[in-house]
Structure 1
Amino acid sequence: MLAYTTYSEAGGVGKTTTAANLAVAHARAGLKPLVVPLDPQDGDLSRLFGVDGKRKKSVDNLVRHMIQRPNGSFDDLIQTKEGVDIIPEHNMLGSLAEYLRREKEQAEAMGEAFGMHSQLLRVLRGADVNDRYDVLICDPPATEGPHLYNAINATRSLVIPVEPSAKGDAAVQGLESLVAGLEENLDINIGVLAALPMDFKDTRDQREIINDIPYSTPEIIGDRASLMEGCWKQQCSAYCYIREHRSRRREYEIKTLAQFDRLARQLEQQVGIEAPNPPEPGDVEHNVITP
């Protein structure tokens, strides 16, 4: 199984839209992806895909499963959009650190161990996600904490959206220290599958920054603010937005879809996955999936 977390220390670099569009790119090729978004704020992946509805505390959600108090089965958590299975975010994610801390204290009082940063991995293993899915994508918030640590512990790999600016460059450098610290604290190895420069305007400074990124950058996404804003407005991927909501198709936006398709194939190849029905990169009508 291909498993990765989309993460950047800098906010607003397209982390969530990257996760969403790569998930659909995998699905378009005939693979079965599961996306686990972990961001408690309103502008989350659940909202992007239009599955952000049930937020009451009594509703079963991923946090309840992580603290071993589920109100139903894991499968009942899942909603599907554009061929992608999604576990919607819930308000309880905002207090995840507190919930996990309480469980740890109770476990230790009983002489038991409770790994605060391994609970998502435990839940996914219990649901046989590794056998049932081809791709697992986690989308945590940009801040450090149990959301990020659980995501990385479950996937062990990163795809890093990068803003080609001094701010983005600093975030990449900070990420190297973060990865090293997580590897030591969690006793795991973490790989970076790719960095994805976003909002590229082809300036000299941006080219220099991209050349200095210490990770593979197989694709570089240009300034696509209008396309990505349209995705949020219509609550869908870029593929669906161009296919169903654009009155005319713009060549540069089709190029962006092709880039997500190619990046998805490159990520799959790194773990030896061969997609059964890969599209011609950027073919909007290929394998259209009805939600």
Structure 2
Amino acid sequence: MPKAVTFWTEAGGTGKTTFTVNTAAALSRRGYDVLAIDFDPQNAGMTDHMGYGEWASRDDYENIAELLVDDEQRLHEIVIETQEFDLIPTHNDLANIESKVEAADGLDSGSKHWLLHHEMADLTERYDYVLVDPPATTGTLVSNAMVATQNVVAPAEMTDKGIAAIGGLEEELAAMERGFDRIPGVDVSFSILGIVPNRVRKRQTNKQQEVFAELEASDRLITPFVVYKRSKISDAWGEGMSVFRYHDEYELRDYQLDVLDSFNGVADLVEGKPLDAVDAEPEVAH
């Protein structure tokens, strides 16, 4: 069964774009047809990372924002085939999506949350997995991503900010469910597939240990693996590729291979494996 997943927590700089890119690459290497959607109009996101940054400001094609409000066109028409997975590029016009809804014929203000949802059936017929990377700030684009996928993987730093971001994610999903429950005939239910500790230091600080203890004492779906803070993740970003392709071209050292294990663990979550069946390496030492 095709699955669509959003990577998000309510904070910037948590690694959601890095997670989207590397999870898409991990799934693609398993033989799946994978589509990643850059739903964030800000510069320096996934589209730029994969080498197509100029697409965000081009005016010579019907971009993602225009297609979302056009019943006669489909998003698959602007798919870019990268070396690792397929990509729907972002565009600066996404920042004005609400005004585009207001100006479009046949759309009312209530339609603004369902724009991507209307495209998802077509996309999941074409792809095994569709991964969405929305902006960090709550709003129309985030609600579109959540409604369209209804599955969330949340990268979270082991800091007070990270704990607050997890709480913000839970509150946002609960608020959206309450809002949609008031609409007759609408059935929307969100699932957090897993909260993945990100940028974990091998030698933990006292604060990091406190945050881990707080999370372990809660009933949240914390993954049995973490993503360690590795410079090679940034190096791969600088080269415009996933860490998997980076390893193919430059070869990670043995002690750095845990980063590949980690993103394969995230891919396991997207495949639908329960947390207790996900490979627990690399496991954090407390």
One-letter amino acid of the counterpart of residue 89, structure 2: P
Q: Which residue of 2 aligns with 1:100?
A: 101
Query: For the residues of structure 1 that align with 2:42 and 2:103, how far apart are their CA atoms?
Result: 22
Deviation (angstroms), 1:218: 3.0
SS in 2 for 1:205: helix
- Contact 1:194–1:218, Cα closer than 8 Å, also in 2: no
Contact 2:4 2:124 in 1 (8 A): no
- Deviations along 1:5-44, one digit per CA (max 9) or x if unpaired, are 0001111111100010000100011111111111111111
Are residues 1:129 and 2:151 paired?
Answer: no
* Equivalent residue number for residue 118 of structure 1: 114
Counterpart amino acid of residue 200 in structure 2: F
**TM-score between both structures, scaled by the size of structure 1:** 0.83
Question: Aligned letter for 2:141?
Answer: H
Q: Is 1:166 aligned to residue 150 of structure 2?
A: no
Does the C-alpha gap of structure 1 residues 53 and 69 become closer, same or farther in structure 2, counting only changes over 3 Å? farther
1:194 and 1:93 map into 2 onto residues whose CA distance is 28
Q: Deviations over 1:92-127 (max 9, x none)?
A: 112122212333xx547xxx78511001111233xx
Contact 1:63 1:92 in 2 (8 A): yes
* Contact 1:164 1:206 survives alignment (8 Å): yes
Query: How is 1:98-247 mapped onto 2 (pairs within 5 angstroms)?
Result: 98-103=99-104, 107=106, 115-125=111-121, 128-187=122-181, 188-201=188-201, 202-213=204-215, 214-224=220-230, 226-244=231-249, 246=250
> Deviation at 1:205?
2.4
Structure 2 residues not aligned, in runs of 5+: 182-187, 275-280
Please tell me the residue identity of whatever aligns with 1:238.
V
With structure 2 as the length reference, what TM-score do the two structures score?
Answer: 0.84
In the alignment, the residues of structure 2 paired with residue 252 and residue 60 of structure 1 have an alpha-carbon distance, to the nearest angstrom, of: 45
| Bigger shift: residues 207-216 or 46-55 | 207-216
Counterpart residue type for residue 249 of structure 1: L
Contact kept, 8 Å, 2:101 with 2:109, in 1: the verdict is: no
CA drift at 1:73: 5.1
Distance 1:97 1:253, change over 3 A: farther
Tell whether the 8 Å contact from 1:107 to 1:113 is kept in structure 2 after alignment. no
Note the residue ranges of structure 1 that are not aligned, 5 or more in a row: 272-280, 283-291
8 A Cα contact 1:37 1:46, kept in partner: yes
Check the 8 A contact 1:6/1:139 in 2, yes or no: yes
Q: 1:221, CA displacement in angstroms?
A: 1.0
Secondary structure of 2:43 counterpart = coil
Counterpart AA for 1:262: G
Q: Which range moved further: 261-270 or 14-23? A: 261-270
Count of aligned pairs: 262
> CA offset at residue 45 of structure 1?
0.6
**Aligned sequence identity (%):** 29
Q: CA RMSD in A?
A: 2.2
Q: Deviations over 1:256-284 (max 9, x none)?
A: 1012113312331349xxxxxxxxx99xx
1:274 alignment counterpart:
none
C-alpha deviation, 1:160, in angstroms? 0.3
C-alpha contact 2:24 2:85 (8 A) present in aligned 1: yes
